[in-house]
Amino acid sequence: MERFAVQGGYIIRSPRDVVKDKYIVVEDSLITAITDTLPEDIRTVLGGPYDIVMPGLINTHTHAPMTLFRGMADDLPLMTWLQDYIFPAEAKYVDKEFVYIGSLLAAWEMTRSGTTAFCDGYFFEDQVGRAAREVGIRAWLGEGILQFPSPSLPNPERTIEHSREFISRWMDDELVRPTVFPHAVYTCPPDLLKKAYELAEEFDLIFQIHLSETPSEVAQVRQQYNMTPVELLDSLGCLSARTLAAHCVVLTPKDIALLAEKRVSVSHNAESNMKLASGIAPVPEMLAAGVNVTIGTDGCASNNNLDIIGEISSVAKLHKINTMDPTVLDECTAIALVSENGAKALRFAGGLLDAGRPADIVVLDGHAPNMVPVYNPVSHVIYAATGNNVKDVVIDGKIIVQDFKSLTVDEEALIRECRKIQKHISRR
């Protein structure tokens, strides 16, 4: 494979390590060097002398196919939204083609706005994997485990075996990796949660789950088990460094201590939680306790976009106003949540730019009006940039986006397919 380079006026190697006027040399799937001058043999150069270059961004919680439900049921509380609108819509419309097209749309949107890796849970996840491979984005995928029928599994008694079969199909893939995904403690009884965790242990996989998302969830679990959802998972032996817990909005001090003690990673989904009025996760308290906090967008039915750069900005500002402390979540901490912390949660060597690291790289356009002038490039990423400023994207050493154009997606054809699905749903 031809070597190429990425030039940056500012290269964010890590949140607190920014270098100026360098070239990142890429060969095969790795970064091989960061140099002052361009090697003579290199002809292809992405970026430029005024651009900001940073590690590929990691979205640790989403439901990619739900791009096709974007805007369908807005301005509702979580349980009403889920039980009265989303579950019925999924039962009616979700099939393999829906998941494939929706995932292509999600992967296109994510790569165009700086996401190079995502963790996903849904139905027909083979189709999510198919779309991720075609677009060239890294994906950690889990087939939904539930105690009731789902679009991809009419017989819930086979839910563990169904997940096992999915895992076996993707275990050897370099770009798409399987996970185990029991939906939540309120949709999976304790024995099913234990079986799911044992499956994750058997294959040494990430165990991802929605956890303590709303006050009503916590109240329901307390009434049923006399424990919080976090305490329930701990009692079942389901908390460890392989656990990736999405949301964690309603936590007691004991819950936070348990998450830290068990080395659980948390995916903070600020915009989705705000839109559904689920609450504000105690991120500063979790960070202070040593919890590995990461960032997810959630699905497009509850966000309604996959712009991870916009999500970082929301996270940074939300916790300042919630605590009335402008220092509580500084720009370096914020960018770590979506880079090195996300990589740690997924047990992945990315999230940093250095020789020997995976070549997952994002370039922000230094000529955009909202990006000029630059005094602090990390601050620019958090407070000035949007996903629309993403100019170039490299994933696994391959150029996926160049000069704002996706190289792996037939954009017009995909838009036509999405509009066909929209018309079909609208007619029904």
57-345 topology per CATH:
TIM Barrel (3.20.20)
428 residues of the chain, pLDDT tens digit each? 679 999 999 999 999 999 999 999 999 999 999 999 999 999 999 999 999 999 999 999 999 999 999 998 899 888 888 889 888 999 999 999 999 999 999 999 999 999 999 999 999 999 999 999 999 999 999 999 999 999 999 999 999 999 999 999 999 999 999 999 999 999 999 999 999 999 999 999 999 999 999 999 999 999 999 999 999 999 999 999 999 999 999 999 999 999 999 999 999 999 999 999 999 999 999 999 999 999 999 999 999 999 999 999 999 999 999 999 999 999 999 999 999 999 999 999 999 999 999 999 999 999 999 999 999 999 999 999 999 999 999 999 999 999 999 999 999 999 999 999 999 998 87
Cα–Cα distances (Å) from 343 to 11, 71, 140, 337, 348, in that order, read: 19, 30, 11, 9, 5
4-55+356-406 topology per CATH:
Urease, subunit C; domain 1 (2.30.40)
Cα-to-chain-centroid distance, residue 101:
19
- Count CB-CB contacts under 10 A for residue 153: 20
Rounded-to-integer distance, Cα 7 and Cα 24, Å:
6
Rounded-to-integer distance, Cα 122 and Cα 365, Å:
34
Domain chopping of the chain, boundaries:
4-55+356-406, 57-345
Indicate left, alpha or beta for 382 from its phi (over 0: left) and psi (-120 to 50: alpha): alpha
Place of tokens 């967008």: 297
End-to-end CA distance of the chain: 49
